[in-house]
Each structure stands twice: as structure tokens, then as C-alpha cells.
Amino acid sequence: MSLFAEFPKMGRAELRDFKKGIDESFKDFTRDYGEAIEHFFDPLLYFLVWLERLFLNSPWPIVMTAIAILVYFGSRSLKLTFGAILAFLVIGYLDMWEDTMATLAIISVATIVCISVGIPIGILMARSNRAQTLITPILDVMQTIPSFVYLIPVVMLLGIGKVPGLLAVCIYAIPPIVRLTNLGIRLVDKDVMEASEAFGASYSQKLLGVQIPLALPNIFAGVNQTIMMALSMVVIASMIGVKGLGVPVLRAISNQYLALGVMNGLAIVVLAILFDRVSQKFGKRLQAHTESMK
């Protein structure tokens, strides 16, 4: 029986036509709507460019001071603040200042985009079970599909540049904040919600006065993870035209420059550690009310 000997498959010609059909129709779609979509993202592009210029054109001591202030008010830790200053001094001394600023800019914009898109989606998921069953598999796909695969349609649609890079970063980095917003809201104590309901709270009073504040530690854990994942996309994003620390890493891979690769890689690690520690300390402070006074 040939059915057992060989897997039943599509004819070679049909398969080729099938794939070609998909490619063709996507290309048509790109031709028709590509420009419109590109314009849609223009504000994002301007913002990113503006932020990058701001970081790069401001004198480095001012940027450094701003970073130190942000770190201090986020973490309330002098140790961490001095650690950050030292790390950035070394980065600058090793001639990675500009790339680091470019990376900081794209990470900041990606984080803002992820938060402002992800939190509302998370709220929607927490509110409706149907939305949850619909969105969860999409998040699963976004997190597991190899990033190179979704780079293809993004590049076909928007070409090479900052916006497609930003989009790629966001697609990869947004799932945690969506998931943890949803989880955080669903975990809010039923008794507290009932009390709020019993006092006649409206939907928005419940959401803003009870659910979001009580979900905040979880939402914050989501923001933290989103930033981490965005940072880990820096190298891949640089393949499609995003400036920053990823570019020298790519160059180091293709030319076998060990020192260059390691140095820039470590700079990414330093950024990650800083973001992580600061946001965790900040998240902990948000939970202060749950601890009893000593």
C-alpha cells in the first residue's frame, strides 16, 4: 500500500501555486495599503526620532543627571543610583554612549507603546471571558513564533527602518503586560469588589478605584518583563534598521570581533539590570500598604 509507504501530500505544483497565491495577495495588499499604514505610524516615528535626538544632542552630564534622578526616585536607593552613574561612565568611556542612547530611546518608546496598548487589552480580557479565550492563543503565538518569521511580513509592509523595528520589538514584548494586567485584575479580592459594588460604585469607579490599584503590583511585574523582552530584541531589531547597541553586535558576529561583541552585549545587560532593579524596587514600594507596621 503506497498510502503507508509515503505520506499523502499535496502535489508539488499545487503547493507552489498555493504559496505563491498567498505571497501575491500579501504583495497586493502591501501595494494598496502599505503607504497608508506607514503614514499611520508616522507620529510614532517622529516621537522616536525626537527622543533619540534629545538623548544624543543633550550634553552628556545633563543626560547622566536625569538618569540618576530617575533611578533615585524609582528605587530610593543611593547604592543603585551610584551604580547606575558608574555604569554609564564606563559605557561612555568605552565609546558606546551614542549606541546606548539610541537603544534607550527605542526601548522607552516601545515600553510606552506596550503599556498604552497592552493595559487596555488586559483590562478587556479581565472583563470578558470570551475576550480572554480569544486573545490568549494570539499571545501564545506572539511569544513562541520565531521573531524572524514575523519580521518578513513587517518588512514587506513597511520596509527597513525604525518603525518596522519598533513594531517587531513591540510584538515580541507586549504579551507579558497584557497577561499580567489580566491576571492582576482577576486576582483582586472578590470581597473587596463586592464591597465596592455594594456602596454603589460605577464601572469606572470600580476599575480606577479598586481593580487597577490592587492589580498594580502585577501590572508592574508585567511592565518589568516587557522592558526585559524589549531589550532582548535589540539585536534582532538592528537587523532591520534600528540603530543602537544591536548594530555593533551584528557587526561583531559577521566579522568575528570578540571584544566589540562582548562589550556591547554587556552594555545591554547593564541596561537590563538597571531597568529591572529600579522597576522592582518601585513595584515593591507600591505594595507598602500590605505590610503591617513594625
Partner 1 sequence: MSDIKVAIKDLYKIFGSNPASMIEKVKNGISKTDLLENFGHVLGLDNVNIEVKKSQLQVIMGLSGSGKSTLIRHINRLIEPTAGSILVDGENILSMSQADLRNFRRSKASMVFQKFGLLPHRKVIENVSYGLTIQGINKQEAFEKSNQWIESVGLSGFENHYPAQLSGGMQQRVGLARALATDADILLMDEAFSALDPLIRSDMQDVLLSLQEKLHKTIIFITHDLDEALKLGDNIAILRDGAVIQSGTAENIILHPADDYVTDFIKDINKARVLKVSSVMTNKDSVQGPEIQDTVIIEDALQIVSQSGSNGAVIVKDGKKIGTVSLADMIMAIARSTKNTDSDTVYR
Measured in whole angstroms, the distance separating CA 45 from the mean position of its chain's CA atoms is 16
Site for partner 1 in 163-192 (CB under 8 A): 189, 191-192
Specify the residue, 255 or 292, whose C-beta has the smaller distance to partner 1.
Answer: 292
Q: Which range binds partner 1 by CB under 8 A, 109-117, 170-178, 225-233, 285-293?
A: 285-293
- Contacts of residue 289, Cβ cutoff 8 Å, sequence gap at least 6: none
| Cβ atoms of 132 and 182 closer than 8 Å | yes
Q: Which C-beta is closer to partner 1: that of 147 or that of 196?
A: 196
Give CA–CA dist 89/91, Å, rounded. 5
Give the number of other CB atoms < 10 A from CB of residue 276: 15
Residue 170 to residue 183: CA distance in whole angstroms: 20
Q: Based on CB atoms, which residue is closest to partner 1, 32 or 291?
A: 291
Asked if residue 226 lies in contact with residue 272, where contact means CB atoms within 8 angstroms, the answer is: no
Give the number of residues written for the chain.
294
Size of the site for partner 1 (CB under 8 A): 22
List 93, 200, 254, 255, residue binding partner 1 (CB under 8 A): 200
CB closer to partner 1 out of 256 and 290? 290
Site for partner 1 (CB under 8 A): which residue of 64, 68, 201, 273?
201
Site for partner 1 in 206-245 (CB under 8 A): 209-210, 213-214
Q: Are 226 and 118 in contact (CB under 8 A)?
A: yes
- Positions that interact with partner 1 (CB under 8 A): 189, 191-192, 194-202, 205, 209-210, 213-214, 289-293
